[in-house]
Structure 1
Amino acid sequence: MKITSNFDSGNIEVIAATDPQNIQLAIRKDHQSDFYQWFHFRLNTPHAQVHKLHIVNAGGSAYPDGWKDYQAVASYDRQTWFRVESEFDGKTFTITHYPEAESVYFAYFAPYSYERHQDLLHQAQNDYNCQLVELGETLDGRDMNMLVVGEPDDSKKKVWIIARQHPGETMAEWFVEGFLDRLLDEDDGVARALLAKAVFYIVPNMNPDGSVRGHLRTNAAGVNLNREWQNPSMAQSPEVFLVREKMLALGVDMLLDVHGDENLPYNFVAGAEGVPSYSGKMQQLEEAFKAAMVMVTPEFQTEFGYGKDEPGKANLTVASNWVAEQFSCLAYTLEMPFKDNANLPDEAFGWSDIRSMKLGQDSLTAILAVVDDLR
């Protein structure tokens, strides 16, 4: 029996792996950080029996409530990820599974590999309406890339989509893949209407170093990028520094910053109600976008989410708040669950890569509903 995580986005430490009924594991912390929750590993076993895999340090993770009512995902082919029996006793998270093949992968959510990220970028640039732009390099020397979709024109609105500031939130890049699939479909009426009115600046992965390293929340320096937007630096947070500089050069009329939430089993958005310059126009746009999302898909809801910041009390180191304040525009953080959508549950797959992609596709219709009013 062998357990390994020596691959792209892998994360696990093996404490004991001799007894299939009592495999002892621990999640490795993000480099230079105390954050941990993301896991991704492979079990190879000759034993045709139930295996119990105990992640013994789950109770001390970044979001211990995230383990409640959560089921891990597994895959035999690294394409289809299904939910497996899991339980949490307050300290240890236990996966119980009968392997139907010699080798099986387990993960916190369907992984989005760096190789697939490269495929996404280069397949998109093949479209006549899409340009691949290199912004610079990360601390580990990886490229920071942006896709520009549409013909730039001063009369067009500038819509930014950024994803995966927190690398373990892989659903965010699945969302972007679905978003791009529809936006680049020249037979799709919504996409054509949008591209007549707007140019899209899309950063599918804000944190490629953390993604490859198997981090939950930080980059190679152990920095939480979504707390760097007021004063980023090339030494600690080049990912934010480079994207922010491009925003300042080009302008922003709308931002969707795409994330995943460990605790809440819902899809929702968090607005910029607490920024000092919050206005009636910004509130009107926020309400219109939310209403459009509710109309477009039952996967989205507005009852559950984060509490609103008090007026003038927003944390301006957060991307959506900084953008809203800097550009006086519609700026939302969009959250998806690691668990399932409690309003529309799927016992076999939970919230998944495919459903994340479809939500990305659906969001185009909501953007179309507000694009004319963005400025």
Structure 2
Amino acid sequence: MSGQCLFSFSTDSICDQLFPRTKQIILEFSSGKWVPRLREPRDLYGISTPGHLPLIRWPYQCEVIGDKIEHIDWTPPHPEPLYKPTGLETLCPDSREGTVVYLADEADKESCFVYSRAGGSYPSRQVLPQPWEGWGNTLIFEARFESGNLQKAVKISDFEYQLTLRTDLYTKRHTQWYYFQVTNTQTGMPYRFTIVNFTKPTSLYNRGMRPLLYSEAEAKIHKVGWQRTGNEIKYYKNNLSQDGHQYFSLTWTFQFPHDKDTCYFAHCYPYTYTNLQEYLAAISRDPEQSKFCKIRILCHTLARNLVYVLTITSPAGDKEVKPKAAVILTARVHPGETNSSWMMKGFLDYILGDSNDASLLRDTFVFKVVPMLNPDGVVVGNYRCSLAGRDLNRNYKSELKDSFPSIWYIRNMIKRIMEEREVLLYCDLHGHSRKNNVFMYGCGGKDKVNGQCLRQRIFPLMLSKNCPDKFSFPDCNFKVQKGKEGTGRVVMWKMGITNSYTLEATFCGSKLGNRQGTHFNTKDLESIGYHFCDALLDYCDPDKSKYYLCLKELEEMVKQQAKMTTENLSYDSDASLTEVTLDRDFRYRKLLRYAEMYSALLCT
């Protein structure tokens, strides 16, 4: 007689019946007695069997429609140009009477997150506040799906709508990301949408950025996916301020491509938690990739969603003398920065590929990759925060494991790695809402070359040379600001990782080379991941000629900057001699400021 008996153990005390248990004791009946053993979690890989994905968990208050939202992968045949103002852009009146046609249920009635529910709460009511005698020509809005973010839609006229975005859950701030569905469309008619509760005073929409539109009819008929749309685009300060908050509006006009179509609008190309899980499931099913890519669970989030960590390296061989150096990449700590997920996808596509270069990188390094640090925020459509209502990328110093689990676990994982092997590079992938191009933020260092702190700038310079039409080295910054001391980049640098970076990709497009004046698409963002790998190959090349050429170029840059500063100092000193009425203390402070600037050039 043989058999098994399962006992589950847990330390959680809230909603035990809702949360899945992973660690179990298995009692196997063998040779006339019960023998206990600890079984590995069933979801060790996060994906138990092909085709089965762990259910996504939502805050219990969130209403979620049952439809699965899918978009085809498509790249425009030519780069899409930025919008050029025509002078016809107008500001929409703030206070206008209209009819509410969409009003999502408040999902953050409590002051903080309480517990989650698999699949969320199925809608029990219509989103319209009153019954309609048929929809007629009124647009039908929906955003109660994964990563959706729309709180309210008001119909001003047949073809004009005023929209309000939902703030990050359990906060009253952070409105930048938007993603919503529209049905019952009419073609050939000029529509106007105005989003009225943005909070940032500047926006790339005033630098030529256009909203994204996806048409299900276009996808089905012409195999066309997300594309830029919009005319008369204007981003401006409105008069809807309340509670001390100033709000800004984005308005644009457009035409739907088909009648009775289902369309979507988004701030950037969506990449959901489901997209990630499906991508990882494909890796786990691939017999070759699964040999050198192990998918594990780093931790569970507040809502009990899984945070995955990938270990990518060639299997250890007999010839391995010392531990390989580690390269650590993370992404999507800010859920609305979907461009970071597309860069991460490009990186993973490359490093998991069958090219000789990918094989060489796997032979040389151990890659630790966390592709989505904030899945809860991604699921509910937040722009910046987790379900703790806090920015995770300001809390890398926090010891609050229960409040910021993914941050606590990634930091401690890196500490363990540093005890075992050298960490060559750490990079956290982000999106940027105010600048064009792709660029990096680094940290000032203590190691000096000819009196200069330049080694941390070599990798970004190499990346700019591999990607000259997208990556801008002059846009890089290597200062450590006081307000950024809780970021992953700064905390990892202070832990001892010399090459610690944030890689930023614009939501908009490029100002460089032959891509000047065009939007980035998903393939452009993925290509940054490819070029990152190319730069890593250059950086670790045993032939150090590229390394030292970049170092020499950086030294020349600093010399030129120092020369310009010195000339400005000399000019200003001569001019100050003629200003006999100028206060001596003021002149002294001004000269001191120049001296500090010169010193900063040498040491940062």
TM-score (norm 1): 0.90
Taking a change above 3 Å as real, the CA distance of residues 12 and 64 of structure 1, as seen in their structure-2 partners, is: farther
* 73-82 or 140-149, larger mean C-alpha shift: 73-82
CA separation in 2, counterparts of 1:50 and 1:218?
A: 35
Per the alignment, residue 313 of structure 2 pairs with: 150
Aligned pair 1:40/2:191, yes or no? no
Asked whether the 8 Å contact 1:223–1:236 carries over to 2, the reply is no
Give the counterpart of 1:355 among 502, 505, 524. Answer: 524
Aligned pair 1:55/2:223, yes or no? no
* 297-306 or 63-72, larger mean C-alpha shift: 63-72
* 25-34 or 345-354, larger mean C-alpha shift: 345-354
Per the alignment, residue 201 of structure 1 pairs with: 368
* 230-239 or 137-146, larger mean C-alpha shift: 230-239
Asked whether the 8 Å contact 1:37–1:63 carries over to 2, the reply is no
CA separation in 2, counterparts of 1:84 and 1:113?
A: 22
Taking a change above 3 Å as real, the CA distance of residues 340 and 20 of structure 1, as seen in their structure-2 partners, is: farther
Give the counterpart of 1:115 among 248, 264, 274. Answer: 274
Letter in 1 for 2:381: G
Aligned pair 1:132/2:295, yes or no? yes
Asked whether the 8 Å contact 2:180–2:265 carries over to 1, the reply is yes
CA separation in 2, counterparts of 1:265 and 1:330?
A: 24
Asked whether the 8 Å contact 1:138–1:239 carries over to 2, the reply is yes
Aligned pair 1:215/2:378, yes or no? no
Deviations 1:50-69 (CA, angstroms, capped at 9, x unpaired)? 211110112xx246434322
Asked whether the 8 Å contact 1:157–1:198 carries over to 2, the reply is yes
Which structure 1 residue ranges, 5 or more long, are not aligned? none
Taking a change above 3 Å as real, the CA distance of residues 21 and 39 of structure 1, as seen in their structure-2 partners, is: same
* 361-370 or 282-291, larger mean C-alpha shift: 282-291
CA separation in 2, counterparts of 1:356 and 1:308?
A: 25
Give the counterpart of 2:416 among 232, 239, 249. Answer: 249
Percentage of pairs with the same residue:
24
Per the alignment, residue 340 of structure 2 pairs with: 172
Per the alignment, residue 228 of structure 2 pairs with: 83
Asked whether the 8 Å contact 2:447–2:453 carries over to 1, the reply is yes
Secondary structure at 1:308 match in 2: coil
Aligned pair 1:19/2:182, yes or no? no
Shift of 1:366: 0.7
Aligned pair 1:192/2:339, yes or no? no
Per the alignment, residue 430 of structure 2 pairs with: 259
CA separation in 2, counterparts of 1:266 and 1:100?
A: 30
CA separation in 2, counterparts of 1:17 and 1:307?
A: 47
CA separation in 1, counterparts of 2:331 and 2:399?
A: 17
Give the counterpart of 1:31 among 151, 163, 169. Answer: 169
Letter in 2 for 1:198: F
Secondary structure at 1:68 match in 2: helix
CA separation in 2, counterparts of 1:129 and 1:201?
A: 12
Give the counterpart of 1:304 among 475, 489, 495. Answer: 475
CA separation in 1, counterparts of 2:456 and 2:485?
A: 18
CA separation in 2, counterparts of 1:347 and 1:286?
A: 28
Asked whether the 8 Å contact 2:195–2:251 carries over to 1, the reply is yes
Give the counterpart of 1:325 among 486, 494, 497. Answer: 494
Shift of 1:344: 5.1
Deviations 1:190-221 (CA, angstroms, capped at 9, x unpaired)? 21221121010011111100001111111111
Deviations 1:233-261 (CA, angstroms, capped at 9, x unpaired)? 22221110111111111123311110000
Secondary structure at 1:260 match in 2: strand
Letter in 2 for 1:181: D
CA separation in 2, counterparts of 1:317 and 1:365?
A: 30
CA separation in 1, counterparts of 2:474 and 2:160?
A: 41
CA separation in 1, counterparts of 2:270 and 2:530?
A: 19
Asked whether the 8 Å contact 1:264–1:305 carries over to 2, the reply is no
* 141-150 or 153-162, larger mean C-alpha shift: 153-162
Per the alignment, residue 20 of structure 2 pairs with: none
Per the alignment, residue 73 of structure 1 pairs with: 212
Taking a change above 3 Å as real, the CA distance of residues 23 and 236 of structure 1, as seen in their structure-2 partners, is: same
CA separation in 1, counterparts of 2:408 and 2:329?
A: 16
CA separation in 2, counterparts of 1:167 and 1:259?
A: 10
Give the counterpart of 1:343 among 479, 501, 512. Answer: 512
- Cα RMSD of the aligned pairs, angstroms, is 2.4
Per the alignment, residue 589 of structure 2 pairs with: none
Asked whether the 8 Å contact 1:63–1:262 carries over to 2, the reply is no
Which structure 2 residue ranges, 5 or more long, are not aligned? 1-138, 238-247, 543-604
Letter in 1 for 2:296: V
CA separation in 1, counterparts of 2:177 and 2:476?
A: 22
Asked whether the 8 Å contact 1:5–1:40 carries over to 2, the reply is yes
Aligned pair 1:280/2:451, yes or no? no
Secondary structure at 1:57 match in 2: strand
Secondary structure at 2:519 match in 1: coil
Taking a change above 3 Å as real, the CA distance of residues 346 and 22 of structure 1, as seen in their structure-2 partners, is: farther
Give the counterpart of 1:94 among 247, 251, 259. Answer: 251
In our comparison, the structure showing a higher alpha carbon Rg is 2
TM-score (norm 2): 0.57
Asked whether the 8 Å contact 1:121–1:147 carries over to 2, the reply is no
Letter in 2 for 1:286: Q
CA separation in 1, counterparts of 2:524 and 2:178?
A: 21
